Amino acid sequence: MVFSKEQKSAIHFKDGPALVLAGPGSGKTTVIVNRIISLIKEHSVSPSSILVITFTKAAAKSMRQRFLSLTGESYVSVTFGTFHAVFFSMLRHAYNYSAGSIIKADIQYNYIRNAAMGFELEYPDENEMVTGIISEISRVKSNRLCIDTYEAVSCPAATFRLIYKKYENMLISRRMIDYDDMIIMCYELLSKRADYRKAWQDKYKYILVDEFQDINKAQYDTIKLIAGKQANLFVVGDDDQSIYAFRGSKPDIMLGLSTEYRDIVQMYLNTNYRCSSEIVAGARSLIEYNKVRFAKDIRSCGMCSGRIKVCKMADIEEEALYLSKEVRELIADGIKPEEIAVISRTNIISNIYYTRLNSDGVACRTLTAVHNIYDSWLMQDIAAYMRLSQGMYDKENAVRIINKPSRYIKRALITQPFNFEHLRKCYDGDEGLIKIINDMQFDIKMLSHMSPYAAVNYILKGIGYEDYINEEIIRKRLNKEEVYAKLTEIKTLSRKYMDIKQWLKYIDEQAEKTERENKSDKRQGNQKNSDEKDSAGAVNIYTMHSCKGLEFKAVFIMDVCEGIIPYNKAVLDNEIEEERRLMYVAMTRAKEKLYLVYPIKRYGHDTAASRFISEIDKAYIESFDYSTNS
């Protein structure tokens, strides 16, 4: 294998602390693997004294396999593992913990939720509040902050402290730990017990850390204890790809290494072997707007494949239509589906494009659970309206929508089968309610002559179901973005059919299919996981966080607009810089083709292109306006 001069310097480095700043696609994994080989073969370092730490099981497994493919089975004693795996092995030796000692995510979530409910907090979205509290508990632990002075943002500070302490007492009473406790307890063990500290320092004389920019304070402090005075700490990362602030990681640790280790050797891997020159230059021009970072001279190895396409669309539905058309054209031109990625800021947004592509016959793969739109209350309500329009006067259909929107009609008066005349007789003499009943009958008759897509829009706007939805969002504190994303999915699915009966048949078939799959999963005793699916022949759907470390020939970044990227909750300078790093990570997944797509309207409200688009040097952008074509 031929290495660049930059890579050789890092590979053959031996003793002392070293920081390798590795830009996207610069071959950092190659450097780490070959540095291990260099330590063993050139410097006679014992394989068992080498510790390689990654942030995910998949990364640890992949790196180990790559190492062994180059060396054979001779050096299997090199330790590859995640922070949690390595630190938990230390706790097992010290305290006899087992896997059953770790609290499961669903138990943690439910406990925090119930604790929060006891304080009768006001919140716009329950799930967002609970996950926010869990995230802040993790932040307090991972940054080793004082709970008594910590100012929470997910809920009132005093309430957060009570929830935190209640949660900690629960863990202690059940003799359980969470993932953050693994790090804290390991740090306390090594800092207080000189014998344990010396034992692990003697075992691991050389430590290599991948994706160092993602480290948090607790992890870093613990690793320093293991490295000891010999400080053979070789860390590889890119501060421009630090995107996990929500779990306590931040580039500050990386940026401050030189003050911690005065003799640290700093090396740069500046050549991007992945992306075309236009993508590299465009992404570089964006990230250089960040002020808190290492200055770098990131460059491409010379590949050219055209400028970044910035596409302006009328709305989200048009975005989805454009995406589907472009993806199918790319596949027709010879790009394999698995070489295409669709990247969004959140899972909620991703589901819209997953549904569009699937409905157009494009197979998709996602690492997250895809919700079943046919089980949603929105779909069931809309389908009930349509069934009534087709003469399916089952009582169940009428009961479901009779007061959506509110009509002040008593559900007890609805007969089987449902009958408008009977309802009018029940309210004989009440002119207001008779008019409401007549209007409802007229609306349902109107639906019978429409296409499914037109009928969905008429139900929302003409009948007033959208008003009911907005009332439910406020009353039940639902996530508005999520609700409207599901409505967009329903509209997308309805476009495929010109006849309501055909669409209702399709809805029923999908509901039956889901029921069969659920029964099958229960019988097999397992749960479907898209990780297990073969990715061949399927377009990849990712969030900006989950796409990190991956690469594709063609990448579509969707909804590149203000309020989404940067996210509307990012206000402070450091938060905006984190969002810019997220955008940078997403852009540098593309090897040849990169599309930045944004709408000028989202769910009926005006929006604007992300400021990040304007920060990209115009020399590397080709703009298209499709907003007037819809």
pLDDT tens for each residue of 262-278: 999 999 999 999 899 99
Nearest Cα residue to 162 out of 198, 201, 205, 133: 133
Residue 97, pLDDT score: 86
Helix %, strand %, coil % of the chain (to 5): 55, 15, 35
Q: For residues 508 and 442, what is the distance between their CA atoms, to the nearest angstrom? A: 26
Residue 519: per-residue pLDDT = 55
Phi/psi at 26 (nearest 5 deg)?
-95, 0
Nearest to 119 by CA among 176, 166, 68: 166
pLDDT (mean) for 602-606: 82
Other beta carbons less than 10 A from residue 363's beta carbon: 14
Output the pLDDT for position 530. Answer: 43
Q: Distance between CA atoms of 23 and 271, rounded to whole angstroms?
A: 7
Question: pLDDT tens digits, residue range 360-406?
Answer: 889 988 876 556 677 788 988 999 999 999 999 999 899 989 999 98
Residue range 113-130: mean pLDDT, rounded: 78
Res 377: pLDDT: 86
DSSP state for residue 214 in the 8-state scheme: G
Q: Which domains can be identified in the chain, with CATH numbers?
A: 5-95+187-267 (3.40.50.300), 103-176 (1.10.10), 299-363+537-625 (3.40.50.300), 373-517 (1.10.486.10)
DSSP string computed for 295-327: ----EESS----PEEEEEESSHHHHHHHHHHHH
Query: Is a pLDDT exceeding 90 seen at residue 517?
Result: no
Which of these ranges, 41-45, 242-246, 335-339, has the smallest mean pLDDT?
242-246
What is d(CA 61, CA 58) in angstroms, rounded to the nearest whole number? Answer: 5
How many CA atoms are closer than 13 Å to the CA of 331, on its beta-carbon side?
19
* Ramachandran bin of 96, using left for φ above 0, alpha for ψ from -120 to 50, beta for the remaining angles: left
CB 14 within 8 A of CB 39: yes
- For 9-74, the three-class secondary structure string (H helix, E strand, C coil) is HHHCCCCCCEEEEECCCCCHHHHHHHHHHHHHHCCCCCHHHEEEEECCHHHHHHHHHHHHHHHHHH
Question: How much of the chain exceeds pLDDT 70, in percent?
Answer: 94
pLDDT, residue 514, reads: 60
In degrees to the nearest 10, what's the CA dihedral of 433, 435, 438, 440?
Answer: -70
Residue 145 has pLDDT above 50, yes or no: yes
- 250-254, 257-261, 537-541, 612-616: segment of lowest average pLDDT: 250-254
Rounded to whole angstroms, the Cα distance separating 110 from 112 reads 6
Mean pLDDT value across residues 18-30: 93
578 to 243, 345, 407, 434, 446: CA distances (angstroms): 6, 13, 48, 58, 50
Bridge partner residues of 564 (DSSP): 567
Tally Cβ neighbours within 10 Å of residue 2: 5
pLDDT at 486: 85
For residues 100-127, average pLDDT = 84
Name the token pair of 288: 């250089």
Query: What pLDDT does residue 56 have?
Result: 87
What does the alpha-carbon distance between residue 216 and residue 501 come to, in Å, rounded to a whole number? 56
Exposed (0-12), middle (13-18) or buried (19+): which is 408, by Cβ within 10 Å? Answer: exposed
Distance CA 11, CA 34 (A): 6
Higher confidence at residue 359 or residue 243? 243
**Helix (H) or strand (E) run with residue 81 in it:** strand 79-82
- Asked if the model's pLDDT at residue 532 lies above 60, the reply is no
pLDDT digits (tens, 9 = 90+) for 463-514: 999 999 998 888 777 778 788 888 888 888 888 888 999 889 888 887 776 6
pLDDT band at 354 (very low <50, low <70, confident <90, very high): confident
The partner residues of 80 in beta bridges, in order of sequence, read 52
Res. 303 pLDDT band, cuts 50 70 90: confident
Quickly state the pLDDT bin for 516 (edges 50, 70, 90). Answer: low
* Per-residue burial over 423-436, b = 16 or more CB atoms within 10 Å of its CB, e = otherwise: beebbeeeeebeeb
Dist CA 595 CA 623 (whole Å): 10
In the predicted model, what is the mean pLDDT of residues 129-136? Answer: 89
- Longest Cα–Cα distance of the chain, Å, equals 98
pLDDT at 526 (0 to 100): 42
Given this model, what pLDDT does residue 329 score?
A: 96
Please say if the pLDDT value at position 122 is more than 70. Answer: no
Q: What is the pLDDT of residue 474?
A: 82
pLDDT at position 515 is 63
More confident: 474 or 190: 190
